[in-house]
Chains A and B, each alone.
Chain A
Amino acid sequence: MISLLSTLLNGLSLGSVYAIIALGYTMVYGIAKMLNFAHGDVIMVGAYISFVAIFYWGLPPILGFLLAMVVCTVLGIVIESLAYKPLRQATSLAVLITAIGVSYLLQNSAQLIWGANPKAFPAMFSLPDASLFGGSVTISNNTISLLNDQLKISGNMILTILACVAIMVVLTLFINKTKMGKAMRCVSEDKGAAELMGVNVNLTISLTFAIGSALAAVAGVLLCASYPSLQPTTGAMPGIKAFTAAVFGGIGSIPGAMIGGILLGIIEKLGQTYVSDQLGDAFAFAVLIIVLLVKPTGLMGKKVHEKV
């Protein structure tokens, strides 16, 4: 029972990271109708930037974190305008191949700058040691122990889940309530009609890349806080998993990316705990295959019918 609870919490935390990355995939897909396979590598860049800022330059973690977001935001806008914007009228295959090219460019640049050896990503922050409720809850080594030490929750897990919830709330409000957010929804539905309303489509696409990349930076830092090994390919696997999560939830759907990410994280951890430790990734991709077979539009994906 406690092992199940602990697995679910681990899954929730991993799934939160997937959800944050999947949001970037799904927003860009929704607006620009392209799969940005370089998205995973923006995560890695974000993680390196915060690593360098905090552990080489000695900046406080929060500043390193913000710097990573700023750099990734700029990086996202630059990638879009240099690599994807010239291909606005090109076939989707050309854009896809370009995205894969950008992905390799980022990985190899990172290898050139920071080397191929994994860097140990030390703890970003720590909870104070404490003993609460007459010793039934103790905090030590940045880990909260509950139920006679049987259930352990790390501070990173809590931070990850909280960050994910905060991002979901803010993003949902932004998309549904602000003028810019509504313009993004219009562009995602019908670019021409959005232009007729006076929406600057190119600016909206840039903004989408900016938001997606800022989220990727957040995901990069959270990921490396929980799985502290950083190398140029760090972003690749979580990127593909998050893509799976986005398809699982229904690509283009923001609530779908959130739900898909969290479910995928939980399924992966359940598979690892109860079936085989080695097969976690296989479970994640089995989900992708099953979804594509059973409900190709994903959990929240919509089919739009034209009414006459």
Chain B
Amino acid sequence: MSLLKVDDIHVYYGAIHAIKGVSFHVDEGEIVTLIGANGAGKSTTLNTVAGLLKPRSGLITFDGKSLNATPAARIVSQGMALCPEGRRIFQQMTVKENLEMGGYTRPPKEIPGSIEEMFTRFPRLKEREKQIAGTLSGGEQQMLAIARAMMSRPRLLMLDEPSMGLAPILVEQIFDIIKELHAAGVTILLIEQNAQAALSIADRAYVMETGNITMEGPADDLLHNDDVRKAYLGD
């Protein structure tokens, strides 16, 4: 059974029909990526899965339970975390406080241990533990955003454009981190404009265009598909 199943969802921003019947699924242990141009509806899809937006019709199920009526704040504790586009860390709080907030739904006594785990995985964050998050570099902020999402111990981690605005060397680091988290047993749903990088680490991929999924398949196949290469890989 799929861990996450999205079935024919339609999402509107006011009168604008942003998502027009999108269906996809993510199985336990996979890395799945949604690729597509700016404005294709990738972020809207992820925000809907995370509960920030509600679909007008269609069904979202996680681990067999419907999430349609669940508010965003209650979805985290079901085992799903979204690391949002633009990172959206709490700029005026310290690195440590950001991590604490990531574990908001968990019992307080488990938090210090989890923060130590994150510091082991992200030594740069340990160095900056007491620093105000807004003063971190872009790469460090992205690491903090991922670590913060991981603090809720998600079974499914959704990442929205984690490489956005980062230097190539940092992009590589971020993708290494994603691979590590995956190796540690986290299922991953990834949105990327950097289709090359996303397809090379993903198991399966979906291509989105103007609110629809237009292509899907094993990531390797899409990586070598001529249409995909022309449209998204700059060939």
Contacts and interface: CB of A to CB of B under 8 A. Distances in A.
A308 B92 contact: no
Given A196-B72, A196-B84, A201-B73, A308 B104 contact: no
Q: Which of A192, A197, A307 has the most CB of B within 10 A?
A: A197
B181 interface: no
Contacts of B93: 182, 185-186, 189
Interface in A174-216: 179, 182-183, 185-186, 189-190, 192-201
B82 interface: yes
Given A196-B81, A198-B73, A198-B77, A179 B104 contact: yes
B189 interface: no
A198 B136 CA distance: 24
Given A183-B101, A308-B165, A195 B52 contact: yes
A199 B138 CA distance: 25
Given A196-B81, A307-B134, A179 B92 contact: no
A132 interface: no
Interface in B66-87: 71-74, 76-77, 81-82, 84, 86
Contact of A199 (B73, B148, B149, B165): B73
Nearest to A304: B91
A215 B91 CA distance: 28
B164 to A, nearest CB: 9
A308 B134 contact: no
B192 interface: no
B88 A192 contact: yes
Nearest to B47: A192
A195 B52 CA distance: 8
A167 B213 CA distance: 56
A302 interface: yes
A217 to B, nearest CB: 29
B105 interface: yes
Contacts of B148: 197
B41 to A, nearest CB: 18
Given A307-B138, A308-B138, A198 B88 contact: no
B222 interface: no
B92 A183 contact: no
Q: Which of A179, A186, A196 has the most CB of B within 10 A?
A: A196
20 contacts: A182-B97, A186-B101, A189-B90, A190-B88, A192-B88, A193-B84, A193-B88, A193-B90, A194-B101, A195-B71, A195-B73, A196-B50, A196-B76, A196-B149, A198-B73, A198-B77, A198-B104, A302-B92, A304-B134, A306-B86
